[in-house]
Amino acid sequence: MTLRASVAASLVLLLATVAGATAVGETQFARMLEFGGEVYAVAFSPDGLYVAVAGQGSAVHLVETEGLTIVRTLEGHTADVGCVAFSPDGTLLASGSGDRTVKLWDVATGAEVRTLEGHGRYVRSVAFSPDGTRLASASGDHTVKLWDVATGAEVRTLIGHAAAVWSVAFSPDGRLLASGSQDMTVRLWDVASGEGVFTRADHTHYVTSVAFSPDGKLLASGSYDNTVMLREPTTGAVLRTFSGHTGIVWSVTFSPDGKLIVSASADGTVELSDTSTGETVFIDATHTGPVGGVACSSNMLLASASDDHWFSLFNLGLLPQVAAFDVPWQQWRVARGAAPVHIYDAPPGQQAPGVCVDVRNRGPNDIVVSITKNAGGGQLMAMRRKVAVGSTLTVAGSLESVTTRVIVPDDRAWLHPWPPVAGQLDGSSAGSSRVVQF
């Protein structure tokens, strides 16, 4: 099934900071859109008003970020689409596919402008130069190609990698091009001459993604070795290594202000870390499968794409506001519908007895439950899980000062706290946890 065939999409309002809000850019922390196939790649338009989404199937979808609706579907590839990129002026979209081609699309009309042919294997990555005159493409054929955007002519082929090239990125001034490869190296190229500037082999496994910071002062690389490395961009020297992921790092990017490094992983999470201190400030675990693509917009939105068929959109500007609560765990606030249910464990400074969120789906349909937790150190975590009819989702922890926010889409579930207190759970025997019905 193609993405287009399944787009009837299931739109879930997730982690709303204001009940009933509709504008991601103003009041919502995150929203998600479900497709019928694996989602591999995301890219924002320069103004942040649209995001291109691609993956399993030959179509590319343009999604309007404000309403999270699909406004256009671009069809023309004959295999899965693994990468997308907008031109700097937002008029063109490039896509690379397993059909070994790169296509350029007119964003306003959805018309195919031209097809760029020349790669011998799948196209893994595409990137426009900052002035929009050149397009770089990386392929499983071990090469990077530079194309003239106006004519579609191949300008140059960069040869040097010994295995598939997975990612390319231009420096902000357009003079340099970075590439990451299955040969476990990061290379830097001079765009004008095509000559190599450096080759670094610091990773211990395939290099899957490369990205420059907005000011060009940092170069990031992600790898099969589960790490993200921050580098000095002219020499490639490693300045800092991030080792928080437990799976392959598939994609890396920077926040618009360059203060955060964002990484997407096969462990199902997206991590945001401070580039200057190395501290992890947010972990998004909303996805239930590997996260293969991540992108940030100029207006502080974060998009992620996952094999779990979901595309997620976060508002980075609302991160500090997500869990600003200070209430003993015994106090409950329960609401119906999409509004959040707040559960608290220990007051600040006291050891938490443990927190357990248990949602039981009473049917008749599966529901999606969204949970966020805020640890005492300020680190945030969010997750989304599907609860089948008649089944129970349990999330437990023993952190201090944890704020847990649970959202379900309707009133068909039960919720109870931990540790257990006297009472009955959905008709079960006495002595089990107290039940809150909503």
- So where are the chain's domains? 3-321, 341-437
Q: Is the pLDDT higher at 425 or at 272?
A: 272
- Please report which confidence band the pLDDT of residue 102 belongs to, taking 50, 70 and 90 as the band edges: very high
- Tell me the sheet residues that pair with 372: 382, 405
Q: Say how far apart CA 243 and CA 6 lie, in whole Å.
A: 36
Residue 342 has pLDDT above 60, yes or no: no
Residue 8 has pLDDT above 80, yes or no: no
pLDDT, the chain, mean: 77
Give 54-80 pLDDT, tens digit per residue: 999 999 999 999 888 999 999 999 999
pLDDT at 324: 28
CATH of domain 3-321: 2.130.10.10
Residue 282 has pLDDT above 60, yes or no: yes
Contact between 265 and 271 under an 8 Å Cβ cutoff? The reply is yes
pLDDT at 285: 77
Q: Is the pLDDT higher at 283 or at 76?
A: 76
> Per-residue pLDDT averaged across 305-314, rounded?
90
- Please report which confidence band the pLDDT of residue 317 belongs to, taking 50, 70 and 90 as the band edges: confident
Share of the chain above pLDDT 90, in %: 57
Q: Say how far apart CA 378 and CA 368 lie, in whole Å.
A: 26
- Please report which confidence band the pLDDT of residue 279 belongs to, taking 50, 70 and 90 as the band edges: confident
Contact between 374 and 323 under an 8 Å Cβ cutoff? The reply is yes
pLDDT at 410: 43
Share of the chain above pLDDT 70, in %: 66
pLDDT at 68: 87
Q: Could you tell me which CATH class the domain 341-437 is placed in? A: mainly beta
- Please report which confidence band the pLDDT of residue 401 belongs to, taking 50, 70 and 90 as the band edges: very low
pLDDT at 365: 67
Q: Say how far apart CA 94 and CA 300 lie, in whole Å.
A: 22
Nearest to residue 43, comparing CAs of 66, 63, 71, 24? 63
Lowest mean pLDDT among 278-287, 348-357, 386-395: 348-357
> Per-residue pLDDT averaged across 412-438, rounded?
32
pLDDT at 22: 28
Residue 111 has pLDDT above 90, yes or no: yes
Residues 6 or more apart whose Cβ sits within 8 Å of residue 425: 360, 414, 416, 432, 433, 435
Residue 6 has pLDDT above 50, yes or no: no
pLDDT at 36: 81
> Per-residue pLDDT averaged across 166-176, rounded?
98
pLDDT at 358: 54
- Please report which confidence band the pLDDT of residue 369 belongs to, taking 50, 70 and 90 as the band edges: low
- Please report which confidence band the pLDDT of residue 172 belongs to, taking 50, 70 and 90 as the band edges: very high
pLDDT at 417: 40
Q: Is the pLDDT higher at 401 or at 121?
A: 121
> Per-residue pLDDT averaged across 362-373, rounded?
62
- Please report which confidence band the pLDDT of residue 280 belongs to, taking 50, 70 and 90 as the band edges: confident
> Per-residue pLDDT averaged across 291-311, rounded?
94
